[in-house]
Structure 1
Amino acid sequence: MMSLYSVADGQFTLANRNLVINALPKVPRATEAELQWAADNYGRFNAMLGNGRFQAAQRYYNNAHYLFDDDAKIMLLWAGIEGLLGIEAELSRRIALHAAILFDGDRSEKAAHLAQIKKAYVIRSKVVHGTGVDRASLPEAYFFASRLLVGLLRKMVELGRVPEASELDQLAASVEVR
């Protein structure tokens, strides 16, 4: 199901079904705030693992970091994002919109986040469809997709549920232009 791992004195070990793994470049130490968040949300996280979409997205996030090629990492992370958000049509716009709704911030921060996600999705599409991707942009695109997926997983743990796409569409449609 989930990889088992431990970190002690800078050493990283894990149980993984793959014979060859790409070691993480750096395993940062958790801050007190991060440890507190984990303690506060442990029960909700375990409950969320019963949700198929959440569980799949968590697995894709965990496994993506062990792949050797950034383009493969990007495809797996975006598969997790798309599945977690339940998006089946109008992918680019709806993913960006739904993710912006879920992230904290004021209107301008959400608008900036929306633009960043749409830009990152262009790279995802080039990777998936094999059309003219700038290989130098892949490490940053991988890092962005990784941050996006873990941020969405974190938000859903805090919510204690995975919102349906229709609920997020209703939230988006509830705004008025004046």
Structure 2
Amino acid sequence: MSDVTGEQESLSPADELRKAARILERHAEYGQRIIDEAKRQRDQDKRKGYFIGMSGCLLPDGAADDGISVNAVSDEPIFTLTPVTNRPDIGSLSRALIPEQRPNLSYLSHLSRAITHELYIAERIAKTPQAALNVAYRAISLLRLKTNCLINGISFSEVPWGQIAAHSADVEMQPLEEPRRALWGSRSAITEDDLTWVTLRLARDFDLHEQPSYRLAYDSAADAPFLKDSRTAVARIWSGIESLFDVQNELSFRLSMYAAVLISDDFQQRIDIQANFKRLYALRSKAVHGAKLDTAKLDQALTHSWCLLRDLLLACIRTGPSLPSTAELDRALLGRQLARDDGALTRATDRAHDA
């Protein structure tokens, strides 16, 4: 240690300045490499659309580098989910932002450190930024439901992160939400099949989202994993579950029966779903009314209730463009099956309109 100290102390002022200059040169070279790579990507990238910076995303090993995509008939992607590379340094970000956004530079730089992946939405299916945000919210929520990968949308722009350094005073970036830590861990990966599944069911989701009861359940599933308190999250989840059914009395019994026939057509599965529902309903009552619960029971009430709400929402998507009525569910209890089409509609998602 003394040798190193002695060597440092032996440097002359001129040597110290030369050493500092070399460090600054390396930083400048690094920044220039970011700019050069951003220009290369911009020259090669012909996509026109919108980009959602995301956190919490995992892709399979085979897609970890190149990402996944869903292509249209023309072989042009309408959705891609790719890792973020060539992240701009703070100088590049400052230079690229429109002047009105430069006061937010520190916050945007903070958000950028949480972004690991980027969801691209093609302009052909979302003509305006608001339409793209509508599609993004539903796509991200459906991916959560399908995969249990608890992703977050962090930022929104018309420029991918890897190309920002090639721009000057023309990038507008909209923060969406703070990076949120989920109440439970998830190591689920999003596959190309999952993204395709979401693409084929977005139109159905838009139809269902017109109904307040579905929208409440949907938003509950989206928000609950990221609330700060487990008991509050359980209450939020169950408000969503109960909103799907028009039931005012005999709640535990009738809700459990309706949930069973909505989720499955198989008799044994219905029995299992009803029993699980009633068990979770009892845990829910203890959680939301402040009864003493050990950590394991509270965690079970939280995660299993969310999975139940997820299964119900996926069942709604499989069943039709509107929620089944109480009368339809009663007929299903008497033996008439609900009509299922799996929700894989082929209508274009450009039915999304500006809110």
> Which bin holds the TM-score, normalised by the shorter protein?
0.7 to 0.9
What is the alpha-carbon distance in structure 2 between the residues aligned to residue 71 and residue 168 of structure 1?
A: 30
Deviations along 1:63-84, whole A, 9 cap, x unmatched? 1111122111111001100011
TM-score using structure 1 length: 0.82
* Structure 2 residue 322 is matched with structure 1 residue 149: no
The number of residues matched between the two structures is 169
What are the residue-to-residue correspondences of 1:19-168 with 2, within 5 Å? Answer: 22-24=180-182, 25-26=185-186, 28-158=188-318, 159-168=320-329
8 Å Cα contact 1:22-1:68 kept in structure 2: no
Shift of the 13–160 alpha-carbon distance from structure 1 to 2, 3 Å rule, reads: closer
User: How high is the sequence identity, in percent, across the aligned residues?
Assistant: 25
Q: Secondary structure at the match of 1:65?
A: helix
Change (3 A) 1:91 1:133: farther
Question: Segments of 4+ in structure 1 off by > 6 A?
Answer: none
Gaps of 5+ in 2: 1-51, 56-81, 84-114, 117-151, 155-175, 337-355
C-alpha distance after superposition, 1:76-96 (max 9, x if no partner): 001100011222221111111
**Separation in structure 2 between the aligned mates of residue 93 and residue 134 of structure 1, nearest angstrom:** 26
Gap regions ≥5 residues in structure 1: none
Q: Give 1:170's match in structure 2, choosing from 312, 327, 331.
A: 331
Higher relative contact order (Cα pairs below 8 Å, separated by 6+ residues): 1
- How far apart in 2 are the matches of 1:118 and 1:152? 15
TM-score (norm 2): 0.44
Q: Partners in 1 of 2:225 and 2:261 — Cα distance? A: 26
Aligned alpha-carbon RMSD (Å): 2.3
State which structure, 1 or 2, has the greater radius of gyration over its C-alpha atoms: 2
